């Protein structure tokens, strides 16, 4: 008898000729007639790591696979096709045959691939890589879809699946973003244009960023991307948002696009490259350290993060209307396939009378070559002029489509375009049905939509649309705010939402203001007794039509308010109680104001001669009644404890009583305009306000949030003889911080510091 051949240690031979590796340290030796228990094979298959190869040409073995790499687009349009590839390594002992082995999706989304999967292009031997190249089709419905694949041998899946990946898919028009432009739903812009809507601060907008100056927002890759000028570097940074309301700095606020040269003022749109692939196109200001002329450059990105090198596409002329700058661009690809780039143009002349900005447009079949310019289109005396508020020119703009019109928000300048102290900026609205943007511009009867009352050196400028779910919002950076030392800082952008109803026009001057307890709203009242409530402030009634109303005080904790007339009649509304008034007394001078106690169970009145009248739990701590005054009293403010108060006269003299400290006054000093009000600060300091909107802060070092002193001289008086002069100041509580509102006779509000704007009844002729 012949000798039985020895088998190699550690391997077992199976009837089909295949071999299975075993671990000698953990497998008991058995005779040839005692095969390995089947449960061990089943367990291995259950772990998804090892599977017996199927019978086919050549030897069968053990199946196993390992992910290597993939090439997949970061985002897709609905129904878009894309070429992808997935590379897997054969870590088993069987060969992956093209006739049997497939790469299959692990999810119900097949991406347009047959359920049987994708075959390797060639047989893949053990230890080799196999690349599966195929075409996918995005789902027809927008959303975020899983993209995960696993090897299959025709009987069972084997090996680990590819890492989980989610691909955002969005349809044309999703969230208001089409290829080439943004399109909003509804009639909000039409209503705003025609004065049947107005704007208010949007409390849903939240961002921790230091600055969003010159921002532009787009929806791409399943999220909102807001590009803005880096607050300290001459490049572009990015913030992201899943809902379009709450924003986060990308990569800690680092730049995503920088030089060569200086790059700023980005504007972004969804675009498609010549092969039809989705990408972003960005235009921006570009200059060589801004020592020369400013040009418009462009870059592309397929993921919103990595951008191509700058290419200049709009170049200033040697002289003339665009001889120095072509900057703050915006880009749109209109339905005719043409790229339209708007830009501000600055002339080369140094003549101050010609130192204005205008708007021009350039266009071309692509952004890969210099565009042909046309203009000026909007902004000086020879073309469409938007009005007195933009007498020094018009600058940055942004464009969206609503219905049959293209709407443009744009900045206007009333002073020096270089933002000197008399350069107050505002913004307005224009529209045209002309997709070339070169003719037919008309301007809203409501312009400026927001006059600057922010006390900022450059004001509310550089407006832009932010479209969220098809709804238009308007962002306005409040940049270069004046500080007490004359320096400047960049503030975060504020966002306005459009609400139904006209901003309102008054026929009787606004005389007083009071804040809601939570500082998230306020009241205004006019001399006829009409009460206007904004934000969290609730309307509880009014004595209108009446006459001679001079003051309003809101009940602490909410629920009501008091009005007072010059002849001493107190009107109470809501839960505000009536504790008495001096209507039956012979007043030496008319009442000029009312102040509530912190409990809401009392109030003080002050008259023009300095007399103080106390009711409820309001203590009488002293007055100037019967004493000689250099100027009449105009206002009163209480301390945070309610155990003290200040009176102020029109010459800036301050009189303190109880625990109200005296920190100084403007008495005896030259004033540009009379003082009209006083507000107590959370630290028991105080602010005085002049009729011109100027602020005087006491004590020295008291927080100062800005003013409009001297900056509103050219504002039209409005209807009748109502001037746009300041009439009152109201401070925010300690829970909010050191801020204040300044009220103007036309109802306009200056919201300074943490004080927020919630609307007003102001008007402009």
pLDDT in tens, 701-722: 999 887 877 666 556 655 444 5
Q: Are strands 166-170 and 76-77 parallel, antiparallel or unpaired?
A: parallel
Burial (CB count <10 Å: 0-12, 13-18, 19+), residue 432: buried
- Alpha-carbon span 138 to 141, nearest angstrom: 9
Q: Are 213 and 463 in contact (CB under 8 A)?
A: no
How much is the pLDDT for 508?
77
pLDDT in tens, 175-187: 888 899 999 999 9
Q: Are 646 and 680 in contact (CB under 8 A)?
A: yes
Name the region of 389 (left: φ>0; alpha: ψ -120 to 50; beta: rest).
alpha
Q: Are 334 and 181 in contact (CB under 8 A)?
A: yes
Residue 419 has pLDDT above 80, yes or no: no
Radius of gyration of the chain (CA): 36
Q: Which run of H or of E encompasses 193? A: helix 188-193
What's the mean pLDDT in 726-747? Answer: 93
How much is the pLDDT for 350?
59
Q: Calculate the dihedral angle through the C-alpha atoms of 665, 480, 447, 393, rounding to the nearest 10 degrees.
A: 120
What's the mean pLDDT in 192-216? Answer: 83
Listed in sequence order, the residues at least 6 apart from 390 whose beta carbon sits closer than 8 Å to its beta carbon are 379, 411, 412, 413, 414, 426, 428, 448
How much is the pLDDT for 99?
95
pLDDT band at 29 (very low <50, low <70, confident <90, very high): very low
β-pair partners for 120: none
Q: Calculate the dihedral angle through the C-alpha atoms of 198, 678, 527, 516, rounding to the nearest 10 degrees.
A: 50
Q: Which run of H or of E encompasses 3? A: none
3-state secondary structure of 183: strand
Q: Which residue has the higher pLDDT, 453 or 267?
A: 267
pLDDT in tens, 47-105: 444 566 654 444 468 999 999 999 998 878 888 888 999 999 999 999 999 999 999 99
- Alpha-carbon span 513 to 533, nearest angstrom: 10
Q: Which residue has the higher pLDDT, 9 or 384?
A: 384
How much is the pLDDT for 763?
54
Can you read off the two tokens belonging to residue 437?
């943007």
CB atoms within 10 A of CB 69: 12
Burial (CB count <10 Å: 0-12, 13-18, 19+), residue 390: buried
- Alpha-carbon span 136 to 142, nearest angstrom: 15
What's the mean pLDDT in 254-268? Answer: 92
Listed in sequence order, the residues at least 6 apart from 154 whose beta carbon sits closer than 8 Å to its beta carbon are 54, 100, 101, 102
Q: Are 530 and 546 in contact (CB under 8 A)?
A: no
Can you read off the two tokens belonging to residue 383?
């073309």
Residue 503 has pLDDT above 80, yes or no: no
Q: Are 158 and 64 in contact (CB under 8 A)?
A: yes
How much is the pLDDT for 479?
53
- Alpha-carbon span 166 to 222, nearest angstrom: 10
- Alpha-carbon span 120 to 573, nearest angstrom: 80
pLDDT band at 417 (very low <50, low <70, confident <90, very high): low
Strands (E), 234-338: 236-241, 248-249, 255-257, 262-272, 278-287, 295-301, 311-314, 325-333
3-state secondary structure of 353: helix
Q: Are 546 and 529 in contact (CB under 8 A)?
A: yes
How much is the pLDDT for 76?
83
Q: Are 365 and 338 in contact (CB under 8 A)?
A: yes
């Amino acid at each position: 008898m012949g000798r039985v051949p020895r088998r190699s240690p550690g391997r077992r031979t199976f009837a089909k000729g295949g071999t299975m590796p075993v671990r000698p340290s953990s497998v008991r030796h058995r005779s040839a007639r005692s095969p390995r228990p089947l449960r061990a094979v089943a367990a291995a298959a259950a772990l998804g790591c090892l599977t017996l190869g199927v019978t086919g040409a050549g030897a069968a073995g053990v199946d196993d696979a390992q992910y290597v790499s993939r090439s997949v687009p970061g985002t897709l349009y609905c129904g878009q096709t894309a070429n992808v590839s997935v590379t897997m390594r054969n870590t088993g002992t069987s060969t992956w045959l093209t006739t049997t082995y497939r790469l299959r999706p692990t999810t119900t989304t097949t991406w347009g691939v047959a359920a049987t999967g994708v075959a390797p292009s060639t047989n893949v031997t053990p230890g080799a890589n196999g690349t599966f190249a195929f075409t996918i089709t995005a789902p027809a419905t927008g959303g975020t879809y899983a993209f995960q694949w696993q090897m299959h041998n025709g009987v069972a899946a084997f090996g680990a699946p590819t890492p989980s990946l989610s691909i955002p898919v969005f349809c044309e028009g999703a969230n208001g973003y089409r290829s080439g432009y943004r399109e909003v739903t509804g009639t909000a812009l039409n209503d705003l244009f025609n004065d049947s809507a107005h704007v208010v601060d949007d409390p849903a907008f939240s961002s921790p960023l230091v600055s969003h100056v010159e921002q532009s927002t787009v929806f791409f890759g399943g999220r909102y991307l807001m590009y803005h000028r880096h607050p300290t570097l001459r490049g572009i940074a990015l913030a992201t948002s899943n809902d379009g309301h709450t924003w986060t700095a990308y990569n800690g606020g680092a730049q995503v696009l920088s030089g060569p040269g200086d790059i700023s003022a980005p504007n972004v749109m969804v675009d498609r490259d010549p092969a039809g692939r989705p990408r972003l196109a960005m235009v921006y200001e570009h200059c060589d350290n801004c020592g020369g002329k400013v040009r418009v450059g462009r870059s592309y990105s397929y993921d919103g993060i990595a951008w191509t090198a700058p290419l200049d596409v709009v170049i200033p002329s040697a002289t003339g209307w665009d001889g120095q700058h072509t900057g703050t661009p915006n880009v749109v690809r209109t339905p005719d396939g043409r790229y339209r780039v708007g830009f501000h143009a600055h002339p080369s002349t140094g003549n101050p009378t010609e130192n204005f900005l205008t708007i021009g447009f350039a266009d071309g079949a692509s952004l890969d070559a210099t565009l042909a310019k046309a203009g000026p289109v909007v902004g000086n005396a020879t073309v469409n002029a938007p009005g007195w508020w933009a007498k020094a020119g018009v600058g940055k703009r942004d464009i969206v489509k609503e219905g049959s019109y293209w709407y443009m928000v744009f900045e206007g300048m009333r002073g020096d375009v270089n933002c000197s102290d008399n350069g107050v900026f505002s913004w307005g609205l224009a529209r045209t049905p002309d997709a070339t943007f070169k003719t037919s511009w008309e301007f809203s009867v409501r312009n400026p939509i927001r006059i600057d009352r922010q006390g900022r050196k450059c004001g509310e400028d550089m407006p832009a649309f932010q479209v969220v779910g098809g709804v238009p919002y308007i962002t306005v950076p409040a940049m270069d705010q004046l500080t007490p030392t004359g320096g400047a800082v960049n503030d975060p952008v504020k966002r306005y939402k459009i609400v139904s109803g006209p901003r309102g026009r008054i026929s009787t001057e606004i005389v007083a203001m009071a804040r809601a307890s939570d500082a998230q709203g306020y009241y205004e009242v006019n001399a006829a007794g009409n009460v206007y409530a904004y934000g969290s402030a609730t309307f509880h009634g009014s004595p209108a039509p009446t006459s001679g109303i001079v003051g309003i005080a809101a009940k602490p904790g909410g629920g009501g308010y008091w009005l007072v007339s010059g002849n001493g009649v107190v009107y109470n509304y809501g839960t505000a109680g009536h504790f008495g008034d001096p209507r039956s007394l012979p007043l030496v001078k008319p009442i000029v104001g009312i102040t509530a106690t912190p409990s809401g169970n009392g109030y003080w009145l002050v008259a023009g001669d300095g007399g103080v009248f106390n009711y409820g739990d309001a203590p009488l701590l002293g007055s100037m009644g019967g004493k000689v005054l250099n100027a009449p009293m105009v206002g009163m403010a209480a301390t945070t404890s309610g155990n003290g108060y200040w009176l102020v006269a029109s010459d800036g003299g301050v009189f303190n009583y109880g625990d109200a400290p005296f920190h100084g006054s403007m008495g005896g000093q030259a004033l540009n305009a009379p003082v009209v009000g006083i507000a107590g600060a959370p630290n028991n300091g105080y602010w005085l306000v002049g009729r011109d909107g100027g602020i005087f802060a006491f004590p020295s070092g008291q927080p100062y949030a800005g003013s409009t002193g001297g900056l509103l001289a050219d504002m039209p008086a409005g209807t009748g003889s109502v001037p746009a002069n300041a009439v009152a100041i109201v401070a925010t509580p300690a829970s909010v911080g050191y801020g204040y509102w300044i009220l103007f006779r036309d109802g306009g509000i200056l919201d300074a510091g943490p004080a927020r704007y919630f609307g007003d009844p102001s008007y402009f002729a």
